[in-house]
Amino acid sequence: MPDLLAARSQMAVSLAFHIVFAVIGIAMPLMMVLAERRWQVTGHAIYLDLAKRWARGTAILFAVGAVSGTVLSFELGLLWPEFMRFAGPIIGMPFSLEGFAFFTEAIFLGIYLYGWDLIPRPAHLAAGGVVALSGAASGIFVVIANAWMNTPTGFELAQGHAVNVDPIAAMASPAALSQTIHMTLAAYAATGFAVAGIHAFLLLKDRANAFHRRALVIALLVGAPAAVLQPISGDLSARHLARHQPVKLAAAEALFETRAGAPLTLGGWPDVERRQTRLAIDVPYGLSLLAFHDPGAVVKGLDAAPRDEWPNVPAVHLAFQLMVALGTYLALVALWTGWRAWRGADLAHNTWLLRAIALGAPMGFIAVEAGWMVTELGRQPWVIYGVLKTADAVTPMPGLIVPFLAFTLLYCFLGVIVAWLLYRQIIRSPDIPEWRGFYMPPAGRGNRKAEG
Amino acid sequence: MRLADLVAGIVFLALNGYAVLGGADFGGGVWALLARGTRKDRQRELIADAIGPVWEANHVWLILALVLLFTCFPAAFARLGIVLHIPLSLVLIGIVLRGSAFTFWRYGGGAHGDEAQRHWGSVFAVASLITPLLLGTAVGAIASGSVRAGGTGSGAGFYDVYVAPWWTAFALSVGAFALVAFAFLAAVYLTLEAQQPELREDFRRRALGAGAALFGAALLVLTLSGSGAPRMRAGLIFAPWAVPLHLLTGATAVTALAGLWRRRYRLARVAAAAQVSLILWGWALSQYPYILPPDLTITEAAAPAVTLRLVLGALALGAVVLLPSLYYLFRVFKSRSQPSAIGRQ
């Protein structure tokens, strides 16, 4: 395995692993706070149990997210020293701010997890709120740094060196807005639907279980609105790409030739040698409409860039199709759910809806991974688009396959353990007889300890 | 004082925070590994209770130091990443295993069985050794002036570029020193965490033992520095600030041990943290103005002034949020009379 490929693979594995935990770390605290708030308002112990379970989940996932995030920040130097030498002064700012947001999140998560009996109730709820907010903020800062790699601004090049550095302008790069919106919504949609899907699946087996019903509703409250908004944000992203990252859009859409009235290519396998996409369905004028809101608009194809600056077209195209398909499914299920709820229907007795939600459980996370493949693979061979090639950023250290394999094994091992723990700690039904029934138990004012 | 020096001082302050707070959490792992006697389960439980609420916040000091380093001193960060690739990768594996094993230890058992829990406890304990050892080794490599540019195109072999800089008796002795120092800090802090007198005595004895071991480790480092890090040794002996610093460090060391001996634990805690901090600052001063001796100075490695100024602004803003939050965290968990109920429910 060549060292560059090993370095890229190690970074990809680290990111793919970390992003799952980062995404849950953004959305799960919100669910936990909503459940605690419901407990404080209604006094039903079932909500307290839910809040504590989600807090335990947050604790496990946040810890793994914190350490895998540490790995990533070290890997920037271990694998890409030349990238950091160039980019550090320009784009270190959002990383520093992320450091602070993460610090705040860690402090208040400690207070939240261990402070149930030590601080007043409103302070406890507020601590959870701070965790949810700072989690979202740290995600936004990291995505701002990534956006700069896609649309670098805030410096001038002079003999390969950056001069006239302006870190504020770098943070306000053209990709920053669309990328941060898209990623934040993705976090809520993916986590909300994953949790809702699990509880929908359990409800299908045990229809009257009050615990899973409450969990389903709160998870959908977080996931469904985000899933509905996501296609709108996707449209914003596509229009941004058409203007600022045309090669990435061309690869995602498998558009080989620059043309007016470009069609939207659904599915298919791009044949890079022949410069055509086989087995695809073309929607006439679709891409021009989506990218510029004008059926006659000219969309740049891959031919706008030299052949050696193309990304891996089949991989980007397939990842993009996958992301869009899964996102569309979740948006439709969210709309269906919203419509049924608005009509006052009982979600827990709609078998087909529950099945659709259960089916959606893994989809948000697969879409998140696919979306990152689009944005990262779609930028290749550049690490900083148009400025620095990935091959020029890699460490001179040989034998990179060894750390790649070591971290891959470590992460596989951790992934299995985390899944097992989550099952034991949050998903498994609580063994409290009254909650097996359909009705809500009488108000317990939260005095009972509802540990599993 | 130049802007770059000020920022470098702040980076070092974050590292200092990591050493006295995060370091003690690693030290806790050492004592979990060495738990002995009839009270070994209670010792481990105390360690877990003490670390639980704060370890993540303590860990972030390292991340803060790291992001400030790559934002403000990218040339130093890049060189560290290349030359110290191997020890830093091992540091990372230690961090991942330690952090996740600790969480699994806390959340893996509960009412559903303690076998798995004990298992994770030992992974946590063993993993706690890796990171301090290799982080200390990396510091030793820097102090000995062997983290140089080069490697690419210099014709040197893999061993010369990626192993030799840190695989030295001196660097490894600094690693051992770091491990002992963290264990010492942890034992001192745990005397205050313990609620029962006999448990407190356990950690008092351990703290005294570790304090003595720290003295031995310091002697070892000093002896090896003659050939391993002559520049640092010269700085630590002949610089105008050297004598006052050594006197002060010695005074804090004696105060810490005396505090332990006379069971004045609060005094011992402050003195032990001050002692470790002063040792760190001694290292920093001895290699000033170099960030990576023998050839990369703080000024040469620094990012453009605009970046440094913005980071200072962000730091000031961040401090306004963080310092009260940290104060609250430690007030809630570290000044109570009764230990938290979590883990015993």
B25-57 confidence digits (pLDDT tens) = 899 889 988 888 888 888 888 888 888 788 888
The answer to whether position B149 is within a domain reads yes
Over chain B, what is the mean pLDDT? Answer: 86
One pLDDT digit (tens) per residue for chain A, 452 residues: 899 999 999 999 999 999 999 999 999 999 999 999 999 999 888 899 899 888 888 888 888 888 898 899 999 999 999 999 999 899 989 998 998 898 899 889 989 988 888 889 999 999 999 999 999 999 999 999 999 999 999 999 888 788 888 999 989 999 999 999 999 999 999 999 999 999 999 999 888 888 888 999 999 999 999 999 999 999 999 999 999 999 999 999 999 999 999 999 888 888 888 888 888 888 999 899 989 999 999 999 999 999 999 999 999 999 999 999 999 999 999 999 999 888 887 888 888 999 999 999 999 999 999 999 999 999 999 999 989 999 999 988 888 999 999 999 999 988 888 888 777 766 666 666 655 554 444 443 334 443 33
- Whole-angstrom distance, CA of residue B60 vs CA of residue A216: 34
pLDDT of residue B342 exceeding 50, the answer is no
Q: Which amino acid is at A38?
A: R
Residue A260 included in any domain? yes
Which residues does chain A have within 8 Å of residue B108's beta carbon, measured at their own beta carbons?
421, 424
Asked if residue B344 belongs to a domain, the reply is: no
A92 contacts B307? CB cut-off 8 A: yes
Q: Which residues pair with A277 in a beta bridge?
A: A270
Is B151's CB within 8 Å of A396's CB? yes
Q: What is the pLDDT of residues A328-381, one digit of tens each?
A: 999 999 999 999 888 887 888 888 999 999 999 999 999 999 999 999 999 999
User: How does residue B338 score in pLDDT terms, banded at 50, 70 and 90?
Assistant: very low
Find the domain containing A299 and state its range: 224-397
Using CB atoms, pick whichever of B56, B71, B345 lies closest to residue A93. Answer: B71
Kindly identify which residue of chain A lies nearest to residue B60, measuring between CA atoms: A103
Question: Of B57, B89, B99, which is closest to A403 when you measure between CB atoms?
Answer: B89
Distance in Å, alpha carbon of B278 to nearest chain A alpha carbon: 25
Instruction: Kindly identify which residue of chain B lies nearest to residue A399, measuring between CA atoms.
Output: B158
* Contact between A89 and B74 using a beta-carbon 8 Å cutoff: yes
Is B97 part of the contact surface with chain A (CB cutoff 8 Å)? yes
Domains of chain B: total: 1
Structural domain contains residue B343 = no
Question: Considering the domain boundaries, does residue A257 fall inside one?
Answer: yes
- Would you state the pLDDT for residue A436? 56
| Cα–Cα distance for residue pair A175/A451, rounded to 1 Å | 45
* DSSP H or E stretch at residue B324: helix B305-334
| B9 touching chain A per CB within 8 A | no
* Whether residue B98 has pLDDT greater than 80: yes
Task: Name the residue among B59, B162, B303 with its Cβ closest to that of A88.
Answer: B303
- CA nearest to A173, candidates A226, A118, A244: A244
- Whether the Cβ atoms of residue B112 and residue B263 lie closer than 8 Å to each other: no
Q: Say which of A96, A102, A118 has its CB closest to residue B311.
A: A96
* ipTM field: 0.88
**Residue numbers in B near A64 (CB within 8 A):** 99-100, 103
The beta-carbon neighbor of A102 closest among B60, B307, B315 is: B60
Residue B341 lies in a domain: no
Please name the residues between 311 and 340 in chain B that touch chain A, using a CB distance below 8 Å.
Answer: 311, 314-315, 317-318, 321-322, 325-326, 328-329, 332-333, 336, 340
- Residue A159 domain flag: no
Which pLDDT belongs to residue B208? 93
**Rounded alpha-carbon distances, angstroms, from residue B246 to A43, A442, B242:** 60, 67, 6
- In a domain? residue B177: yes
Say if the Cβ atoms of A117 and B68 lie within 8 Å.
Answer: no
Q: Identify the burial level of A114 via C-beta atoms within 10 angstroms of its C-beta, where 0-12 means exposed, 13-18 middle and 19 or more buried.
A: buried
Q: Evaluate whether residue A91 is within a structural domain.
A: no
Domain range spanning residue B211? 3-334
A93:B62 CB<8 A: no
CA A207 to chain CA centroid, Å, is 31
Contact A78 B85 (CB under 8 A): yes
DSSP character for A115? -
Mutant choice from B49, B54, B58, B60 vs A, greatest count of A C-beta within 10 A: B60
Q: Which residues of A touch B79 (CB under 8 A)?
A: 81
- Pick the closest to residue B218 from B134, B111, B126, B136 (CA basis): B136
Contact B342 A111 (CB under 8 A): no
- The answer to whether residue B173 scores a pLDDT higher than 90 is yes
Candidate from A62, A167, A449 with C-beta closest to B345: A449
What pLDDT shows up at residue A451? 36
Closest residue of chain B to A168, computed from CA coordinates:
B310
Distance CA A36, CA A128 (A): 9
pLDDT at residue number A449: 40
Residue B111, pLDDT above cutoff 50: no
How high is the pLDDT of residue A435? 58
CATH of the domain at B291: 1.20.1630.10
pLDDT at A219: 95
**Shortest CB distance from A73 goes to which of B66, B97, B303?**
B66
Q: B71 — contact with chain A (CB < 8 Å)?
A: yes
> Which chain B positions have a beta carbon within 8 Å of A60's beta carbon?
103-104, 107
The H or E element that residue B291 is part of is strand B290-292
Q: How far apart are CA A452 and CA B103, in angstroms?
A: 17
* B60/A96 CB distance under 8 A: no
Instruction: Confirm whether B72 is domain-assigned.
Output: yes
**Res B2: pLDDT:** 86
Q: Residue B307 and residue A167: Cβ atoms within 8 Å?
A: yes
Shortest Cα distance from A216 to chain B (angstroms)?
Answer: 23
Q: What is the pLDDT of residue B151?
A: 53
pLDDT given for residue B153 in this prediction: 52
pLDDT for residue B150 is more than 70: no
Tell me which H or E stretch contains A92. helix A81-114
Angle at A132 between CA B105 and CA A367, to 5 degrees: 85
Query: For chain A, how many structural domains are there in total?
Result: 1
Tell me which of A3, A60, A67 to substitute to probe the interface with B (most B C-beta atoms closer than 10 Å).
Answer: A67
Cα separation, A94 vs A231, in Å, equals 27
pLDDT for res B183: 93
Q: Chain B: residue nearest A426 by CA?
A: B107
Contact assessment for residue B201 and residue B39, using Cβ atoms and an 8 Å cutoff: no
Q: A275 vs A64, A76, A140, A291, B256, CA distance in Å?
A: 43, 35, 37, 21, 74
Q: Are A175 and A405 in contact (CB under 8 A)?
A: no
Q: Using an 8 Å Cβ cutoff, are A148 and A180 in contact?
A: no
Average pLDDT over residues B267-273: 92
* Residues with Cβ within 8 Å of residue A262, at least 6 apart in sequence: A253, A255, A285, A286, A287, A288, A291, A297, A298, A299, A301
* Gap from B167 CA to chain A (nearest CA, Å): 17
Residue B199 located in a structural domain: yes
Residue B12's closest CA among B87, B80, B68, B89? Answer: B68
Whether B189 maps to a domain, the answer reads yes
- Cα nearest neighbour of A116 on chain B: B342
Indicate the SS3 state at residue A264.
Answer: strand
Contacts of A406 in chain B (CB under 8 A): 89, 93
| Biggest alpha carbon–alpha carbon distance for chain A | 73
Select from A97, A114, A424 the Cβ nearest to the Cβ of B314: A97
